[in-house]
Every structure is written in structure tokens, then in C-alpha cells.
Amino acid sequence: MRYLTTAILIALVATAAAAHFVYVVPTKDAKGVQVVFSDSLEPDENVAIEKVKSLKLTARAADGKETGVEHKAAEHALIATVPAQTQVVYGSVTYGLLTRKDVKPALLLYHPKAILGACDAKVATLGDKAPIEIVPVAVSGKTAFRVTVGGKALADTEVSVLQPDGNKAKWKTDKDGQTEAAVSTGRYALWARHQETKAGEHGGQKYEEIRHYATLVIDVK
């Protein structure tokens, strides 16, 4: 019974870890950001932030000018001040290996992005340099989202959505990589995954695939 309980606990921990993502969360005054590794936009006090401390952050202004952003570690988050006129903050971090008996060993990479205030589509889009990204698009006066890989639409893929009321939803992209439109105003957090069948080695351990996770935090007006 003791061994069975241990196995169940390990499974629960693995499941919980799989539900956590790297989010860049703008502060209320839009002068800074907080980076969390969590299943919500709040820091998870049960999860250490050390494994994402190597995150490289970049701020992009309305004119497209980019500036590197230095962050510092808090207890369960990374915090940073961003330059004035920043409209987009984005980054990438190699988290490490996923090694479970039920899946192929995989290298996990997170690509978080946040939009601060008003931002046109050109500024909000990283394009072909992004392994995967989520971009807001205007549709009949509402906000929908497009998922792209290397700048190309990722069709028929699932997008997980944390809505302003705290409820979660699953959306599906169409042939153009676009989701349905948001129906409520407020802060949304979205994530999507792209998987590469590409073998390699990380930290002395081999992997058979790479999993890229894009996240986006945005306030929909």
C-alpha cells in the first residue's frame, strides 16, 4: 500500500507540473512585469522559480525598437521594470527534460509574451523568428488569436485559455491558425504547443522530441 501511495503521489506531481507554464504578467501600471511558472497568473508558492531564471526577456516599443530587460528573482517569481513606451515583452527559456514512462523523453522550451496596452498587429508579431507564438487579431471589432510556427499558421491546434472570470476554455484554430473571438473584456492568458520530432542531448541526457510552448497575456478591451 505504501508503494502504491508513493506511485500515486508521483503521478500527481507529474500531472501538476505539466499544467504549469511560464507567463509574463504586466503590472497594473504597465511599468513592469512579473514572470511566473504557474497554472494561473499568480505565483505558485509550491513551485521554485530557479528553473526559469535563465529566461531572456526583450521589450519592444511602438516603433519596433527592442531593448533587453534585466529581471531579478523574488521568492516565487521574476520581476522586472520595462522601458517607457514598451508595448510587448517576450522571451524564451529552456526548462529542461520531460522524462516519464508514458511519453518520449522531450526537451521543454517556453516562449512567453505579454502585450502592454494598445498594440498594433505588426508590433505584436515576432514572425518567422518565433518557434511558436500567439498573436491577437481584430475580427469584426473583436479580438481573436492566431497561432503561428515560424511565422506560418498552425491549423487545427488546441489553445488553452484562462478567461477574465477565472474559467478555463479550450479553443481550436481553423485552417488559418485562428481561434474564435473573445466575448468578454479583461485579462486573458493563452497557451499553445508545437512539437518537433528532433532528437538531441541536454544536460547529459538524450531526448527524442522538442516541445515548444507559447503563452500570451493580454488585456482585451
Q: 54 or 11: which carries more pLDDT confidence?
A: 54
Lowest-pLDDT range, 13-22, 27-36, 199-208?
13-22
| Nearest residue to 161 (alpha-carbon basis) of 191, 127, 129, 139 | 191
Question: Cα(197)–Cα(212) distance, rounded to whole angstroms?
Answer: 11
Q: 158 or 18: which carries more pLDDT confidence?
A: 158
Taking only the tens place, the pLDDT of each residue in 94-148 is 999 999 888 899 999 999 999 998 888 899 999 998 999 999 999 999 999 999 9
For residue 168, the Cα-to-chain-centroid distance in whole angstroms is 15
pTM for the model stands at 0.90
Tell me the mean pLDDT in the region 164-182. 97
| Domain-wise residue ranges, the chain | 2-220
Q: Would you say residue 11 has pLDDT above 80?
A: no
Question: Cα(55)–Cα(136) distance, rounded to whole angstroms?
Answer: 23
